[in-house]
Structure 1
Amino acid sequence: MHDGLAQSSVAGAAGPMHHRGMTNTDPVAVPAIVDAVIRSRRSVRAFLPTPVPRAVVAELLDVARSAPSNSNTQPWFVHVLAGEPKRHLCEALRRSHEADALPPSAHFPAELPQDCASRQADFGVRYYGALGIDRADAAARARQSGRNFAFFDAPVGLIFTIDRGLTRHSWADFGMFLQTLMIAARARGLDTCPQVSFVRHEPVIADLLDLPQGRTVVCGMSLGHADPEAPVNRLRMPRAAVGEFAVFRGL
């Protein structure tokens, strides 16, 4: 084991899709495999301590770098943390969270569009219900929010940064990179949770990770194996039907 990144291999979850060259050209089998991997991805908020091999994390990033970006600018940068470096960051973030002194980071505008607001409210009911937390219990909710900064006990934590001078086009590129990384992880039987909660604590992260001037935190991510016994990991969120968000013209 090296800094919490084990040297053993992780069994792939997608069979032939695990290989760099896609030799399976079956027009039914390939979409079924890809679709199954995508649909099985979920945000996991309780992880087992099982180490993730350093080589596997590097392989995930090697796949994720294939994500598209405007004019091939590739605006992403990743800090991979495990072992003592991760524990050190988590402890600093825990202190910052408990002090509650940094300005809030607005996840959304003051007034969400009604469709988004209703989904957010539904998420809160389902999420805190799965945890057995009364939504009126602010202290319990704060403690659960603090779990973000332990990467939900995942063995690997990632912090993603971008040049703060880049525009929303590059942030869209970063989103595609993140999704590609999560799908690659899922194909290998790993789970993830992308976390914007880290953004509020950027001063702490910038200091401990020695971020260059001009870089800003996009989000964090927990990576590892889901704890199958954790009730929160049995949470499944509904998705709007295609007809609710797509209009077809000329097709």
Structure 2
Amino acid sequence: MNVSQAMKERRSVRAFLSKAPTADQVHSLMSDAAQAASGGNLQPWRVVALAGAALTQLTDAIAAAQPDEEQVSNLSYPPNLWEPYRSRRFKNGEDLYKTIAIPRENKAARLEQLAKNGQFFGAPVGILVFADERMGYAQWVDLGIYLQSLMLLATERGMATCAQGFWRRYGNTVERVLKAPEPYRVAYGVALGYEDTQAPINTLRADRAPFAEWAQMRGFE
């Protein structure tokens, strides 16, 4: 599989098989992703992979925890989201819940599905990425480059992923359980494993806006 194929095949998977990647596979994936571009070669990411009892310890702690009071500053989306982004997000959510037959009015079922984030959607490996809170915008861009590199490599190697901003909601709990050194804060999580191709939720294929809606080409005449 080449990079172009991995880009087309990568997607967010929310149901996994019990089959787990080996320690060597996860180590290689994390290490190879660190070839990602990084301004000034700061390599601002700090990465922890969890499996087995270590993974259960964290997911059990999250199940018993409340979201951080200060999590408002860590929202995945700006408040009062504007167009066209509001419509894109709305459609993505509706398309997702449609795959598992949960209507908008069934708030309890939607919250139950949301809570599965805290279990890494049943993936056998959970990855948490941390950043020094003193870092700035440019270093958060680097974290995104690391994330994309990790996900594309996983796709190339037959694995599936789901990137999760959810973990910032429970940053204090994550940092306490994993004994993250000061001043590191959780940036995002990644569910990692092998896709359950029979799970209805994995039939979701998010669309993309037309090229002309977000891009321009100048001086090519």
TM-score, length of structure 2 as denominator length = 0.95
Q: Which moved more, 1:173-182 or 1:124-133?
A: 124-133
Distance in 2 of aligned mates of 1:206 and 1:185: 25
Per the TM alignment, residue 124 of structure 1 is displaced from its structure 2 partner at its CA by 1.4
Q: How many residues align?
A: 218
1:47 alignment counterpart: 16
Per the TM alignment, residue 104 of structure 1 is displaced from its structure 2 partner at its CA by 4.4
Distance in 1 of aligned mates of 2:21 and 2:108: 33
Look up the SS of the partner of 2:130 in the other structure: strand
- Root-mean-square deviation over aligned CA pairs: 1.2
2:178 alignment counterpart: 209
Distance in 2 of aligned mates of 1:244 and 1:63: 34
Checking the alignment, whether the CA contact within 8 Å between 2:62 and 2:118 is kept in structure 1 is yes
Per the TM alignment, residue 80 of structure 1 is displaced from its structure 2 partner at its CA by 0.5
Q: Match of 2:96, as an amino acid?
A: Y
Structure 1 residues 177 and 100, CA, compared in 2 at 3 Å: closer, same or farther? closer
Per the TM alignment, residue 103 of structure 1 is displaced from its structure 2 partner at its CA by 4.8
- Which of 144, 148, 151 aligns to 1:182? It is 151
The higher-RCO structure (CA 8 Å, 6+ apart) is 2
Distance in 2 of aligned mates of 1:48 and 1:94: 21
Is 1:158 matched up with 2:150? no
Per the TM alignment, residue 160 of structure 1 is displaced from its structure 2 partner at its CA by 0.5
Aligned ranges 1:89-104 → 2 under 5 Å = 89-96=58-65, 99=66, 102-104=69-71
**Structure 2: 5+ residue stretches without partners:** none
Per the TM alignment, residue 51 of structure 1 is displaced from its structure 2 partner at its CA by 1.4
Is 1:80 matched up with 2:49? yes
* Greater Rg over alpha carbons, structure: 1
Structure 1 residues 145 and 103, CA, compared in 2 at 3 Å: closer, same or farther? farther
1:38 alignment counterpart: 7
Q: Match of 1:209, as an amino acid?
A: L
Runs of 4+ off more than 6 Å: none
- Which of 194, 202, 205 aligns to 2:163? It is 194
2:188 alignment counterpart: 219
Per the TM alignment, residue 131 of structure 1 is displaced from its structure 2 partner at its CA by 1.5
